[in-house]
Chain A
Amino acid sequence: MRFMIIVKATKDSEAGLMPSTELLAAMGAYNEELVKAGIMLAGDGLHPSTKGARIRFDGEKRAVVDGPFAETKELIAGFWIWQCKSWDEAIEWVKRCPNPMTGPSEIEIRQIFEAEDFGAEFTPELRAQEERVWAEAKKNAG
């Protein structure tokens, strides 16, 4: 099972507060464990939303709204993509994570859709196209 692990934003992360040397080292060590265990497929930190933008879709209309965005609870500060055997395994690994923030914080675990989850809508043609697109995307990533 694949999961997106989301580090929710805080006032500190939205203020652009840099992590401490100790936290970066602790997160590096934790990520090393994740990689050795074959769990971690990807991960990154996000700049504050002041450096971001949103695009609102309504029919054909596209409206651009520049950051920052006031509702911190709506925002993300970082993420991983994990491969785990089960829900419980993902939760256990999150519990072992160093607190990613200076104060209280929250990490959200969400399951990723796989092709089989889409059922009959996902035709063999779409599946083949998706596999081709993903293979090319991986080449781009390398």
Chain B
Amino acid sequence: MRFMVMVKATTDSEAGAQPTQELLDAMMAYNEELVKAGIMKGGDGLQPSSKGARVQFDGAKRSVVDGPFAETKELVAGFWLWECKSLDEAIAWVKRCPNPMPGPSEIEIRPLYELADFGEIVTPETAATWDRLKTEIGDKS
């Protein structure tokens, strides 16, 4: 199963607080374990939402709202893409993670859709498009 694992934002991350040397070391060592276990497929940290924007969609209308965004709970500070045998395995790995923030923090795990999950909604033409794109993106990684 494939998962997105998200580090939720905090007031520290939104303030642009830099991680300490110790935290960077610990996170890199943890990422190394994840890679060796074949779990980690990718991951990145996000800049604060002051360097962000939102686009609101309503029918054909598109409105741009510049960051920052006040509700920290709505925001993400970083993420990984993982391949695990089950949600329980993903949870066990998250528990082993160093605390990614100086204070209390939260990590959210969400399974990713596979094309097969959409069943008959997907026409053969759309499935072929998605498969071709997956191949092209894979070649770029």
Contacts and interface: CB of A to CB of B under 8 A. Distances in A.
Interface string A80-107: 0100000100010011010111001111
Interface size class of B (residues with CB under 8 A): 35 or more
Contact of B46 (A44, A47, A110, A141): A110
Interface of B: 2, 4, 6, 8, 18-21, 24-25, 28, 31-32, 35-36, 38-47, 49, 51-59, 62, 64, 69, 71, 73-74, 76, 79, 81, 83, 87, 90-91, 94-95, 97, 99-101, 104-113, 117-118, 121-123, 125-126, 129-130, 132-133, 136-138, 140-141
A47 B112 contact: yes
B104 A104 contact: no
Contact of B110 (A20, A76, A119, A133): A76
B95 A62 contact: yes
A15 interface: no
9 contacts: A28-B130, A55-B106, A64-B91, A73-B71, A74-B74, A81-B44, A97-B55, A136-B35, A137-B35
Contacts of A111: 46-47, 51-52
